[in-house]
A and B are shown apart, each in its own frame.
Chain A
Amino acid sequence: MQELIPFIHGNISDVLGSIKFFMPEIYLAVLFILVLITDLIFGKSFWQMAKIVACAGMFFVIVKDLEQVSLLLADAEHGSHLFFSNMLLLTRTGIDFKFVIDVLAFIMLLYFDWDDSLAAHPKGLGDLYSIVIASLTGLHLMIMAANLLSIFLGIEMVSIASYLLVAYRSENSFSTEAGLKYVLFGAAASAIMLYGISLLYVFTGSLSLFGNLLPGLMNTNVLPVSFALVLVLAGIGFKLSFVPMHFWVPDVYEGASTPVTAFLSTLPKIAGFALLINFLTPFLYFGNWGGFDFRLFLSAIGILTMIAGNFAALLQSNVKRMLAYSSIGHTGFALMGIVTFNQQGITALVYYLLVYGIANIGALLLASYFANVTGAEDVNDYKGLGLKYPVASVSFVIILISLTGLPITAGFTGKVFIFSAVYGVYQQSHDIWLLLLMVTGALATVVSLFYYIRIPLNLFIKRNENISNPRNNSYNLLFLSVIIAVLLVLLGIFPGMIVKYL
Chain B
Amino acid sequence: MVLPSSLRASFKYITLLATLVQLCMSVWLYLNFKTGAAFAGINHESQFQFVQKLPWINLDLGTMGKMQIDYFVGIDGISITLLVMTSLVLVIAALASWEIKSNLKGFFALFLLLDMALIGVFCSLDFFLFYIFYELMLLPLYFLIGMWGGARREYAAIKFFLYTLFGSVFMLLVMIGLYLSVKDPATGNHTFNMIQMMNPANYTPGSVFSTLSHQTIFGFPARTVGFIVLFVAFAIKVPVVPLHTWLPDAHVEAPTPVSIILAGILLKIGGYGIIRICLGIFPDVASSGAFWLGLLGIISIIYGAFNALAQRDFKRIIAYSSISQMGFVLLGIASQTAEGISGAVFQMVSHGFLASMLFFLVGVVYNRVHDRDIYNFRGLASLMPKYTVFIMIAFFASLGLPGFSAFIAEAFSLAGAFKSGLLPQWMAAVGAIGILFSACYFLWTLQRMFFGTLSLKGGEVWKTAMGDLNAREIITLLPLALITLVLGLMPSLVFDKINDSVLALVNFTQNIVR
Contacts and interface: CB of A to CB of B under 8 A. Distances in A.
B217 A435 contact: yes
B57 interface: yes
A457 B64 contact: no
Contacts of B103: 387
B104 interface: no
Given A344-B62, A406-B139, A446 B166 contact: yes
B173 A427 contact: no
Nearest to A390: B106
B162 A445 contact: no
A401 B153 CA distance: 20
Contacts of A500: 59-60
Nearest to B134: A407
A397 B136 CA distance: 13
Interface string B55-96: 001111111100100000000000000000000000000000
Interface string A448-459: 011001001100
Nearest to A449: B165
Contacts of B206: 427
Interface in A426-473: 426-427, 430, 432, 435, 438-439, 442-443, 445-446, 449-450, 453, 456-457, 460-462
A439 B57 CA distance: 26
Interface residues of A, number: 43
Nearest to B181: A427
Interface stretch (B45-53, B141-149, B315-323): B141-149
A397 B138 CA distance: 13
Contacts of B57: 494-496
| Most chain B CB atoms below 10 A, which of A343, A427, A456, A500 | A427
Contacts of B181: 427
Contact of A435 (B153, B170, B172, B218): B218
B217 A461 contact: no
B313 interface: no
A432 B218 CA distance: 8
Contact of A439 (B157, B165, B173, B179): B173
Contacts of A445: 165, 169
A430 B61 CA distance: 21
B342 to A, nearest CB: 33
Contacts of B180: 420, 423-424, 427
A459 B289 CA distance: 45
A461 B153 contact: yes
Nearest to A415: B172
Contact of B63 (A343, A397, A420): A343
B208 interface: yes
**A-B CB proximity, top 7 nearest:** A442-B169, A461-B146, A407-B132, A407-B135, A420-B176, A445-B169, A344-B64
Interface of A: 342-344, 347, 387, 390, 397, 401, 406-408, 412, 415-416, 419-421, 423-424, 426-427, 430, 432, 435, 438-439, 442-443, 445-446, 449-450, 453, 456-457, 460-462, 494-496, 499-500
Interface of B: 57-64, 67, 103, 106, 131-132, 135-136, 138-139, 142-143, 146-147, 153-154, 157-158, 161-162, 165-166, 169-170, 172-173, 176-177, 179-181, 206-208, 215, 217-218
Given A344-B61, A445-B165, A450-B158, 20 more contacts: A406-B165, A407-B131, A408-B132, A416-B176, A420-B176, A430-B215, A432-B218, A442-B170, A442-B173, A446-B166, A453-B161, A456-B143, A457-B154, A461-B147, A461-B153, A494-B57, A496-B57, A496-B58, A496-B59, A500-B60
19 contacts: A344-B62, A344-B64, A347-B62, A406-B139, A408-B132, A415-B172, A420-B179, A426-B208, A427-B206, A427-B207, A430-B215, A438-B173, A439-B170, A445-B165, A446-B169, A457-B146, A457-B154, A496-B57, A496-B58
